[in-house]
């Protein structure tokens, strides 16, 4: 041994024997890295998914209620939400001869009604979205520009006006579902109003 590892000469045998074995300075970092990435993933996920998403909703001021109700005469539909996820609708104003139809929250229910009624606006909005994809602006500027361009389109006199009317037993989820469908079908003109006694009476006959 001493001869192989001889560093300083044959005479210092005692010293050579005691020399510490040179250890590698490399340590296996794999477990540490595993842990680090685990923590990293955890913090990234919790920090971004924590922020709540919000649905913008405006309620009509009390005196202006009649305004939007009047608008439904020409180009509006009313959605009646009631218990057990049941939903009905009728176009224009409620007259004794008008038909109140049953629908549902599926793709072929409310969304179909809204898409058919608001088809012109949807075409325009999709064109705007396509145009927006080509924009080469800062995201914040592009966003506000999109909003300002979308406003007149959604406010078009031809646009569908929707009145959402929920009775006492309706669930909050259903109301949000309807508002969500309105957002999907680019309907900007809608209001959540109280159900009239006539409508309540009509619903009773349908059950």
Partner 1 sequence: MPKVKLPRNTPSLDMTPMVDLAFLLVTFFMLTASFRAAEPVVVDTPSSISEIMLPDNYLLVNIDKDGRAFYNITNKNVRIAALDEMGKRYNITFTDKQKKRFSLMTSFGVPMVQLPGYIDMEESQRLKFTSTGIPMDSTDNQLGAWVLSGYKQYQINLAGKKQEAEAKKETFDVKKFKLKFAIKADSKATYQSVKKVIDVFTTNEIYQFNMITTMEEKPKAK
Q: Could you tell me which stretch among 13-21, 58-66, 69-77, 150-158 binds partner 1 (CB under 8 A)? A: 58-66
User: The tokens of 36 are what?
Assistant: 């680090």
166 beta partners:
81, 194
Q: Could you tell me which stretch among 3-11, 41-49, 131-139, 150-158 binds partner 1 (CB under 8 A)? A: 41-49
* Under rule CB under 8 A, residue 123 binds partner 1: no
Q: What are the C-alpha distances in Å from 197 to residues 83, 92, 156, 202?
A: 16, 17, 31, 9
Of 6, 40, 74, 138, which lies in the binding site for partner 1, with binding defined by CB under 8 A? 40
Of 13, 17, 19, 36, which lies in the binding site for partner 1, with binding defined by CB under 8 A? 36
Let me know: does 161 contact 75? Beta carbons within 8 Å: yes
* 102-121 footprint of partner 1 as x/- string (CB under 8 A): -----x---x----------
Euclidean distance between CA atoms 21 and 168, whole angstroms: 84
User: The tokens of 15 are what?
Assistant: 């010293």
Q: Could you tell me which stretch among 14-22, 46-54, 96-104, 134-142 binds partner 1 (CB under 8 A)? A: 46-54
Cβ neighbours, 10 Å, residue 51: 7
Euclidean distance between CA atoms 139 and 153, whole angstroms: 21
Nearer to partner 1, 16 or 65 (CB): 65
The residues of the shown chain that bind partner 1, judged by CB under 8 A, are 26, 29, 32-33, 36-37, 39-40, 43-44, 46-47, 50-62, 81, 107, 111, 126, 129, 166-177, 179-180, 183-184
């Amino acid at each position: 041994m001493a001869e192989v590892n001889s560093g300083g000469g044959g005479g210092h045998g005692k010293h050579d024997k005691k020399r510490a074995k040179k250890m590698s300075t490399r340590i296996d970092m794999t477990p540490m890295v595993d842990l680090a990435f685990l923590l990293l993933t955890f913090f990234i996920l919790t920090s971004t998914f924590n922020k709540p998403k919000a649905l913008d909703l405006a309620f009509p001021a009390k005196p202006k209620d009649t305004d939007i109700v009047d608008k439904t005469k020409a180009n509006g539909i009313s959605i009646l939400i009631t218990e057990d996820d049941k939903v009905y609708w009728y176009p224009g104003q409620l007259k004794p001869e008008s038909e109140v139809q049953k629908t549902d929250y599926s793709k072929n229910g409310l969304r179909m009604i809204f898409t058919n009624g608001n088809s012109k606006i949807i075409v325009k909005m999709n064109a705007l979205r396509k145009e927006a994809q080509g924009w080469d602006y800062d995201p914040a500027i592009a966003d506000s520009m999109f909003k300002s361009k979308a406003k007149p389109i959604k406010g078009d006199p031809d646009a569908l006006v929707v009145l959402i009317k929920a009775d006492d037993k309706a669930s909050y989820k259903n109301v949000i579902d309807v508002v969500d469908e309105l957002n999907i079908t680019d309907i900007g003109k809608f209001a959540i109003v109280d159900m009239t006694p006539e409508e309540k009476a009509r619903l009773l006959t349908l059950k």
